[in-house]
Amino acid sequence: MSIRERLSGNEAVSIAIRQINPDVFPAFPITPSTEIPQYFSSYVANGLVDTIFIPVESEHSSMSAAIGAEAAGARSLTATSSCGLAFMWEELYIAASDRLPLALALVCRALSGPININCDHSDAMGARDAGWIQIFAEDNQEAYDNFVQAYRIAEHPSVRLPIMVCQDGFITSHAVQNIELLEDDKVKNFVGQYEPEHYMLKKSEPMAVGAYGTPAFYMEAKKAQLTALQNAKQVALDVAKEFAAISGREYGLFEEYKTEDADFIMVIIGSAAGTAKDAVDALREKGVKAGVLKIRLFRPFPAEEIAAAIKNAKVVACMDRTESFNGHNGPLGADVRTALFDVEKAPKVLNYVYGLGGRDVTVESLTSVFEDMQTVAETGELGETYRYLSVRE
């Protein structure tokens, strides 16, 4: 019997962490992720977990401590946002290259400057090439469910990589929604105990972590890292199937919403997917064959599966909640275009930058994107392929 609750995304994630009961949680506060360690510290103080909670002096230190704990054989994690993620940049690459399956609760927020504390994906997208698994949530329920599944994916023997569980700052992190929690024992049994094969405090196997990689071995290490990341795709599907058996909630690499016969498909990540679905519902009532493909697993990028899901559309719009400053496309736009490159008679692709720094994303604004797609289909002219949405000229 699931437990019905009304929770913010931050509190939902903190409850998932409590149910998992990790070994070590180093943390340094930064808006809008601060509530996650704040809630969790109360669980520690009240004896609800036996986690070692470590207040540290910076985000760099929080990731460093999580890496050290994980390397020693402990299940560890931390939480951050925005400039906090940027401050631990060096450590992100170390965690991935050392094959340490720790978790990071990332509450997405714009990177400075100018200074801004609201939602966009510039922090997560800036870290997309660090070698981490990245999973995004549309709402509070998904934020909770994704974190419950996170360690099962990251710790799998064929993966052993860190995982970044992402949700949108303030939009889901602070907004309260009705969600369903699993019972504590179900989560505990589902996640299981962490039993690493190799770790620094294993007496029978002295080892070093993070040793110097000479030219004779460095490329092989990176290839092995890539293979592990690619393995995470199938593992995520397998874990999701097991999760559905205990929760009744099904997850894939992405969600297809009314895409089966869609002529116009919007590819989007995060909370704005809900707004896009509302736009699609209204357009469908008018006879427009619109659909939404919502990315859940962004790294590794499920290129082949996405290409198969959208290849029959007339026009596709990729929605990037960040700016790559290359003048041609955003991260999602680049990955989708690459996925479609070898598809015969591939759909035309538009790429939009939207919602930066917390700019409102409305049904009307996303409807205008579908109208642009219809214009492209009618005229055969793409026009400018890289566009800003809802920006004052």
Q: What CATH number should be reported for the domain holding residue 287?
A: 3.40.50.920
Is residue 103 domain-shared with residue 230, that is, in the same domain?
yes
Same domain, 21 and 69: yes
Looking at the structure, do residues 259 and 243 belong to the same domain, yes or no?
no
Point out the domain boundary residue: 216, 231, 247: 247
Q: Residue 393 falls within a domain, yes or no?
A: no
Same domain for 306 and 216: no
Same domain, 134 and 269: no
Q: Tally DSSP H helices, then E strands, for the chain.
A: 13, 15
Final residue before a domain boundary, out of 202, 221, 247: 247
Residue 20 is inside which H or E element, if any?
A: helix 9-20
Number of domains observed in the structure of the chain: 2
Pair of tokens at residue 157 = 């023997």
Q: CB 223: neighbour CB atoms within 10 A?
A: 10
Assess whether 181 and 264 both reside in one domain.
no
Buried b / exposed e across 163-197, counting CB within 10 Å, b at 16+? bbbbbbbbbbbbeeeebebbeeebbeebbeebebe
Per-residue pLDDT in tens (0 to 9) along the chain, 393 residues: 689 999 999 999 999 999 999 999 999 999 999 999 999 999 999 999 999 999 999 999 999 999 999 999 999 999 999 999 999 999 999 999 999 999 999 999 999 989 999 999 999 999 999 999 999 999 999 999 999 999 999 999 999 999 999 999 999 999 999 999 999 999 999 999 999 999 999 999 999 999 899 999 999 999 999 999 999 999 999 999 999 999 999 999 999 999 999 999 999 999 999 999 999 999 999 999 999 999 999 999 999 999 999 999 999 999 999 999 999 999 999 999 999 999 999 999 999 999 999 999 999 999 999 999 999 999 999 999 999 999 998
- Please tell me whether residues 295 and 216 are part of one structural domain: no
Q: Put the strands of the sheet holding 254-257 in their side by side order.
A: 254-257, 290-295, 264-269, 315-320, 348-353, 386-388
Task: Verify that 145 and 276 share a domain, yes or no.
Answer: no
**pLDDT number for residue 250:** 97
Q: Is 90 in the same domain as 223?
A: yes
Range of the structural domain that residue 325 is part of: 255-388
Q: How big is the CA angle at 131 (ends 86 and 33), to the nearest 5 degrees?
A: 40
The whole-model pTM stands at 0.97
**Residue at a domain's end among 224, 247, 270:** 247
3-state SS, residue 365: helix
Tokens of 357: 């720094």
Identity at 154, one-letter amino acid code: A
